[in-house]
């Protein structure tokens, strides 16, 4: 006979409930969740019937803690737990498995559609305002779900699948629900293959820096180069940085990768004329790692590259996760003469506030505005305003993504000093960049490769 309901024991040994309970919310903890799912899998071993599990994560909970305080954050988590518990039917359970992460088990949910509907209902419940003392807070949540289909689906595997779906949901935005699918499984396997190959490549020093020129728009003379990572694997072939950089960031490889690329770039730039600077991008995770500054200075010392010829680029989104940490790192870098540039300006959050709070030397105007400057009046006015602001703040400005001569003329007319883009050259490896410089780097840039 098909078993669809769990055979959970009514009584447990004294003290066991405490071990399986989250002390803050009174919900079960991760151990209780594993216990419940394991028992349900065992009950359905002979005649499997699907059931669903899901993981809910509060979006942007850390800023709430920072703004309202830890006690208020704990109170919100208790309210979240009460709402989730009240939303469970008599067969389902919800547990707290992380700081702001909750897992639910629904034995009577048999399909992906029903799992998504249940998760969306929970997300909606959590979106209602929270009362914290005399203040009101609004939150959103994201959810990932997976379904049990056969005895091959262990509790750990189901939870991993739900976490993978949750990751996809959070990448898509706030308040999103994703149910794990076969397609996601194939994508996850590919990411794992790329990750393993990337780890080997970084350890073997096989990822290379390429260099794209940054020019003085008025004279077309090269003033520096931005460093870009390029990787060709013997089995995977050429892997786009749009693919492997996020994987490096997500899987904790980005620090080793960045150190490799910076070392190789600094070694290559030692052969350039002294007047040219090297621009290098830091990832968001490096802005919360207080070892970042020491790692950069150590590489410069080993290679003999002058800090005054190095320019570090960071993005607005990279500042958001921990502004205090980013401020310390920026201060450490500028103290030794390294210049700091704000990249992709205009696409992040609180742009003007960031310019007030952080001492940037340069601002890079995002390509989204540059690409439409010729035929979009709002983009034209935005660029004019950015350039006027830079002049008032004593900052240089560089326009990114320039591909047409007419864009150059318009930007020069507006007073923009620097630019980069395919019009001036695509990224080239160290050898071809050096060949160009030795053949006449004082002339207007003509890329070795177009």
Antiparallel, parallel or unpaired: β 362-365 and 339-345: parallel
Antiparallel, parallel or unpaired: β 222-233 and 208-216: antiparallel
Cα distances (Å, whole numbers) of residue 308 to 227, 251, 301, 336, 417: 16, 32, 12, 8, 20
Q: Residue 243: CB partners within 8 Å, gap ≥ 6?
A: 194
- Integer Cα distance of 206 and 383 in angstroms: 39
**Structure tokens given for 330:** 């920026």
Antiparallel, parallel or unpaired: β 418-419 and 177-179: unpaired
Q: Which residue has the tokens 């897992």?
A: 103
**Structure tokens given for 323:** 């502004």
400 catalytically annotated: yes
| Intra-chain end-to-end CA distance of the chain, in Å | 69
Q: Which residue has the tokens 């799912």?
A: 37
Q: Which residue has the tokens 């394991």?
A: 38
H helix runs in 127-253, sequence order: 155-172, 182-204, 241-250
Q: E strands along 60-137, which residues?
A: 93-96, 101-106, 130-132, 135-137
Q: Which candidate in 301, 400, 403, 405 is catalytic?
A: 400
- Integer Cα distance of 212 and 224 in angstroms: 8
Given a contact cutoff of 8 angstroms between Cβ atoms, the answer to whether 3 and 47 are in contact is yes
Host H or E run for residue 377? helix 377-393
**Mutual angle of helices 323-335 and 292-303, in 10-degree steps:** 20
Other Cβ atoms within 10 Å of 325 Cβ, number: 16
- What is the DSSP secondary structure assignment for residue 193, as one 8-state letter? H
Which residues are the active-site residues?
A: 400
């Amino acid at each position: 006979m098909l078993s669809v309901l769990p055979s959970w024991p009514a009584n447990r040994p004294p003290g066991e409930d405490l071990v399986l309970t989250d002390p803050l919310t009174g919900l079960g903890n991760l151990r209780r969740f594993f216990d419940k799912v394991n028992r349900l899998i065992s009950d359905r071993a002979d005649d499997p019937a699907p059931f669903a599990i899901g993981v809910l994560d509060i979006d942007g909970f850390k800023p709430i803690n920072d703004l309202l305080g830890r006690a208020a954050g704990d109170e919100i988590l208790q309210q979240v737990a009460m709402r989730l518990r009240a939303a469970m039917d008599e067969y389902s359970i919800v547990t707290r498995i992380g700081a702001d992460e909750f897992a639910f088990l629904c034995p009577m949910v048999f399909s992906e559609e029903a799992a998504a509907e249940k998760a969306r209902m929970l997300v909606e419940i959590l979106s209602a305002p929270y009362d914290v003392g005399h203040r009101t807070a609004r939150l959103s949540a994201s959810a990932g779900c997976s379904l049990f289909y056969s005895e091959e689906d262990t509790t750990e595997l189901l939870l991993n699948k739900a976490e993978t779906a949750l990751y996809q949901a959070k990448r898509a935005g706030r308040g999103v629900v994703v149910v794990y699918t076969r397609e996601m499984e194939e994508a996850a396997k590919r990411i794992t293959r790329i990750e393993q190959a990337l780890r080997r490549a970084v350890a073997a020093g096989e990822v290379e820096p390429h260099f794209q020129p940054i020019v003085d728009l008025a004279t077309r003379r090269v003033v520096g180069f931005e460093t870009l990572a390029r990787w060709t694997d013997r089995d995977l072939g050429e892997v786009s940085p749009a693919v492997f950089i996020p994987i490096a960031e997500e899987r904790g490889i980005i620090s080793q990768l960045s150190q490799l690329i910076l070392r190789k770039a600094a070694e290559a730039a030692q052969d350039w004329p002294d007047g040219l600077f090297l621009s290098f991008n830091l990832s968001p995770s490096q802005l919360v790692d207080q070892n970042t500054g020491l790692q950069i200075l150590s590489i410069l010392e080993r290679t003999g590259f002058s800090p005054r010829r190095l320019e570090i680029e960071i993005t607005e989104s990279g500042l958001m996760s921990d502004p205090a940490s980013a401020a310390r790192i920026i201060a450490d870098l500028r103290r030794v003469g390294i210049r700091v540039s704000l990249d992709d300006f205009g696409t992040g959050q609180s742009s003007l506030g960031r310019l007030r709070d952080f001492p940037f030397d340069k601002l890079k105007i995002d390509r989204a505005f540059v690409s439409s400057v010729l035929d979009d009046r709002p983009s034209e006015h935005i660029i004019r305003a950015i350039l006027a602001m830079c002049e008032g703040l004593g900052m240089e400005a560089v326009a990114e993504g320039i591909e047409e001569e007419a864009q150059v003329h318009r930007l020069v007319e507006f007073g923009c000093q620097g630019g980069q883009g395919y019009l001036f050259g695509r990224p080239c490896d160290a050898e071809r960049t050096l060949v160009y410089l030795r053949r006449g780097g004082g002339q207007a840039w003509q890329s070795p490769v177009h």
